[in-house]
Structure 1
Amino acid sequence: MTPLSVLRDSWYFFSHNLPAITRLCLPLIILEGVLLQQVSSLAADESAATWRLLAGLLFYPLYSAALILFLDARSNGLQPRGLDLLAAGLRLWPSFALLTGLNTLAILLGASLFVLPGLWLMVKLAFAEYLLVLRGLSPLKSLHESFTMSSGYFWPMLTCILMAMLPLWLLDAWIQSSPLFAEGTLASLLLGCTSRFLQLFSSVVLFRLFMLRSTQPDVD
């Protein structure tokens, strides 16, 4: 499991399945972006972050679960229909939304203590979504099992996550700080949706890591 080989294989998959991923996820990402923009414009500054988090829970679990199911189907040589994937994602929405909320709160708590605990939790919980969707575990069991699966593989996983996400984090920081992309403008909406869509590549990277880890013996 080398980071460069994981990123190479993930990019190959992402680029060759880009049309299908776009059709599956982009409409929901755009709806999410519009809702987040409306929430930001209506909510008070001190509560806007909380409302944005709650608004994100409406759409992120749906298209993320559908994407994970798509990745699993394509890795097995299947050609699933988008509507079937979204229907399956909708059935998983309650447990996935709960998992997303718990995951986000844990990472934010770690980040509030210091940056490094937040990154550590991000890595340790990285497999939870895949365990819930592909193995049918409960949200709490998925979090616990993710801790176990990631043991001994922290640094390769962290390297892959940072290489996939750091450019997008910098893009988000630039969007939020630049007066050219003031909150509520069309440019801000378009760039925000673009950033969230590109973050789907990190889901492909983590899926690749999950599949590789599933075939390897446990490391104490």
Structure 2
Amino acid sequence: MNPFDVLRDSLYFFKRNLLQIAQLCLPLVILEALLQQVVDHSTEPDSFPGISVMVGLLVYPLYTAALILFLDARSRGESPRTRDLLAMAATLWPRFALLTALNTLLILLGLSLYFLPGLWLMVTLAFGEYLLVLRGFAPLAAMKESLRLTRGHFLRILLCILCVMGPLWILKGASLAIYPEPQNALLSLLIDSAHSFLQLFTTVVIFRLFMLISESPDKTDRAV
């Protein structure tokens, strides 16, 4: 499994299905960015930082679960309707939000411990969302199974994540350099929405990795 083959295949899929992905996720991505703006402008700079995380927990699980369901359906040659995907995602929201909260808490804690533990957790917990949405795992069980599935594939997964997120971090930094704070509200909304939408490509890449690793003979044998 060559990471660059995974990235190439994922990019081809993302480009080919860009319109459907935009129709499915972009309205919720914009809503999330708008809510974040409202929170940022209505709270003091030294207020509780967890408020922004809570805003993300309201919307992120919906569009991410819907995207994962879309990726799974397209991998089987199906073309589900947007409203059906969103309805299914809504039923998964409580468990997905709990999983996201646990992952975020652990990764932030790990990042505070000299960064590397957080990086390790980010990689080893990467499959939890897919296990919850596609395999019906409970949040804690999905985290545990993700730790098992990613064993032996850390560097491959990390390389794929960095190849996607690295350019996005640079792009985000460049946009802030060109349009420094304080930004126009509309411009800030456009930048944040575009950045969050492009991050969805990471979901496509990790889905491709998840399918390859979870369906490999050695992983299947251990799961039986």
Identify the TM-score tier after normalising by the shorter chain. Answer: over 0.9
Shift of 1:188: 1.3
- Once the two structures are overlaid, the 10-residue window that deviates more, 76-85 or 167-176, is 167-176
Amino acid at match of 1:160: C
- Once superposed, what is the RMSD of the aligned Cα atoms? 1.7
Shift of 1:48: 5.5
State the distance in 2 between where 1:29 and 1:186 align. Answer: 15
Match of 2:13 in 1: 13
Amino acid at match of 2:170: L
What do residues 8-35 of structure 1 show as CA deviations (whole Å, max 9, x unaligned)?
0000100000000000000001111100
* Residues 197, 87 of structure 1: alpha-carbon distance in 2 compared, 3 angstrom cutoff: same
State the distance in 2 between where 1:93 and 1:104 align. Answer: 16
Shift of 1:174: 4.2
State the distance in 2 between where 1:78 and 1:197 align. Answer: 23
Shift of 1:180: 3.1
Match of 1:55 in 2: 55
Contact map agreement 1:41 1:184 (CA 8 A) in 2: no
> How does the TM-score come out when normalised to structure 1?
0.95
Amino acid at match of 1:209: L
State the distance in 2 between where 1:213 and 1:46 align. Answer: 43
Contact map agreement 1:68 1:130 (CA 8 A) in 2: yes
Structure 2's unaligned 5+ residue stretches are none
Mapped pair 1:38 → 2:38: yes
Match of 2:100 in 1: 100
Match of 1:190 in 2: 190
Shift of 1:183: 5.2
Match of 1:113 in 2: 113
* Residues 176, 116 of structure 1: alpha-carbon distance in 2 compared, 3 angstrom cutoff: farther
- Once the two structures are overlaid, the 10-residue window that deviates more, 200-209 or 45-54, is 45-54
Q: Count how many residue pairs are aligned between Structure 1 and Structure 2.
A: 220
Match of 1:66 in 2: 66
Match of 2:202 in 1: 202
Contact map agreement 1:37 1:183 (CA 8 A) in 2: no
Match of 1:147 in 2: 147
State the distance in 2 between where 1:22 and 1:207 align. Answer: 18
Structure 1's unaligned 5+ residue stretches are none
State the distance in 1 between where 2:51 and 2:184 align. Answer: 16
SS across alignment from 1:84: helix
Q: Where does structure 1 differ by over 6 angstroms across 4 or more consecutive aligned residues?
A: none
